[in-house]
Amino acid sequence: MSIADNLLKYKNEIESQGVKLVAVSKNHPAEAVMEAYEAGQRVFGENLVQEMVDKQAQLPADIEWHLIGHLQTNKVKYIAPFVKLIESVDSLKLLKEIDKQAAKHKRVIDCLLQIYIADEESKFGLGFDEAIELLRSEEFEAMKNVRIIGLMGIATNTAQEKQTIAEFNELKVLFDGVKVSFFRKADSFKEISMGMSADYKLAIAEGSTMVRIGSNIFGKRVIKHWKNKE
Ligand SMILES: *Cc1c(COP(=O)(O)O)cnc(C)c1O
């Protein structure tokens, strides 16, 4: 199946359930993104700043770019002019920098707090307590140029469905608690980004509002070393 065929299949299946599809185009060339774009996709996810910046410059301006990978504070400035959603905010320090760079461009940048739900050491993210602490902080309170619209999480890469379901459920329960405690009146706080190619069905069943799908749409990742790789 072509990229366009795959895209339409997943887009229809996912969006008919009221869930947003983020097409993860990391490690695939701009032409692959363009093929999905021409099939109707507008929301793309990238995990490297340089790769996103390069593609953004070459591709149509109405694409919504989501940064989904770990973001270093010194790179925020490169994406601040255009990024639609930063899904991977994993520290107060990073959020402060996003706020600062967004102000320079007179923007408010939407963000998700990435929450650590996996049973793996390599995954970035805030612990539950750290997320609450961030939301309670006076520093966060003072920020004018970021808006937190939800939470993101990556489940453990495992064939044990019970574990995956339990991890997604933890994120949903945390989301509900944070909503009541901090965003009761903010309609914009409504996103739970969870689910990838292997586990998106389980994620949707547990309350995901946004899934990030790469290999199911684009196939195996082809670019091994993006130029200026981080
Ligand atoms: C690569 C990546 C995805 C997509 O993974 P697939 O298994 O190819 O669908 C989703 N989320 C994040 C954070 C990623 O880095």
Angle between helices 30-38 and 3-15 (to 10 degrees): 50
**CB distance 195 to ligand 1 below 6 Å:** no
Atom 12 (ligand 1) nearest CA:
68
Tokens 């072509």 — which residue?
Answer: 2
Is residue 36 a contact partner of residue 4, using CB atoms and an 8 Å limit? yes
Q: Express each pLDDT in 134-186 by its tens digit.
A: 999 999 999 999 999 999 999 999 999 999 999 999 999 999 999 999 999 99
CB-based burial label for 46 (10 Å; 0-12, 13-18, 19+): buried
Ligand 1 pocket test, candidate residues 196, 208, 211, most atoms within 8 A of CB:
196
The bridge status of strand 146-153 relative to strand 85-89 is unpaired
- Sign of CA pseudo-dihedral 171, 127, 215, 111: positive
pLDDT of residue 222: 67
Does 226 score more than 90 pLDDT? no
**CB distance 153 to ligand 1 below 6 Å:** no
Q: Express each pLDDT in 94-147 by its tens digit.
A: 999 999 999 999 999 999 999 999 887 766 899 999 999 999 999 999 999 999
**CB distance 212 to ligand 1 below 6 Å:** yes
- Domain map (residue ranges) of the chain: 3-218
Question: Ligand 1 centroid to 154 CA: how many Å?
Answer: 9
**CB distance 157 to ligand 1 below 6 Å:** no
CATH topology of domain 3-218: TIM Barrel (3.20.20)
Q: Express each pLDDT in 71-87 by its tens digit.
A: 999 999 999 999 999 99
